[in-house]
Amino acid sequence: MGRRTMLVGVIFGIMAMVFFAAWPFWKWIETKPVSDSVFERTKAAVDRNPRLLQPAWDIAMQDGVLTQSEASVILRAAEKLGAKE
């Protein structure tokens, strides 16, 4: 095994360790819940159009936390539905 092959293996190994060590921290950052006002706006939008938005709400609430990205997708869809009608 050559020196270059070992160096590449060490670099990939370190990258893998950093990835797996940072994963819990990344998930902790990613799953911050939205504020109460955004939650209520999103829930109101789903209540206005339950037939179209309820599936997205159910998927977003599977983990029990409504994140900013999930809320923004639902609110954008509600805005498009409001503009269409």
Q: What is the pLDDT along the chain (85 residues), one digit of tens a residue?
A: 789 999 999 999 999 998 888 777 766 676 788 999 999 999 999 999 899 899 999 999 998 889 888 999 999 999 988 766 6
| CB of 42 closer than 8 Å to CB of 75 | yes
Spatial CA neighbour of 40 closest among 71, 16, 65, 18: 71
Looking at residue 23, its pLDDT comes to: 75
The DSSP output letter for 14 is H
Looking at residue 85, its pLDDT comes to: 62
